[in-house]
Amino acid sequence: MNAKWTQIVAIWVLVAVVTVTLVVQFPENGQQVEAAFGAILAGSIATVSLLQLFKDNADGFVRKLIYVGGGSYLILAAATAYLFLKG
């Protein structure tokens, strides 16, 4: 696994951990948790942008944004489906 994928997967893991933590800690506030999902998604994209800011080359930047945004969106969609089916 090269450095690009390591970075992407690390951000996905961070998004999954934060999402599961919110769902587990606040099970009765489903709508408030879902409102925080937007901030989590924005944070994942901002993290990629911030990491890119410290690098010298821009190779694959858009691809990283798409992969991180898409993967984070899928993680959050699965959590939303879980909250919908649970409630």
| 18-53 confidence digits (pLDDT tens) | 999 998 888 777 678 888 899 999 999 999 999 888
Instruction: Report how many domains make up the chain.
Output: 1
Burial of 14 (0-12, 13-18, 19+ CB in 10 A): middle
Full domain range(s) for residue 15:
3-86
What percent of the chain stands above pLDDT 90?
53
Stronger pLDDT, 56 or 13, i.e. the higher one: 13
- CA atoms of 50 and 46, how far apart (whole Å): 6
Query: Mean pLDDT over residues 58-69, rounded?
Result: 90
Query: pTM for the whole thing?
Result: 0.88
**Which pLDDT belongs to residue 83?**
86
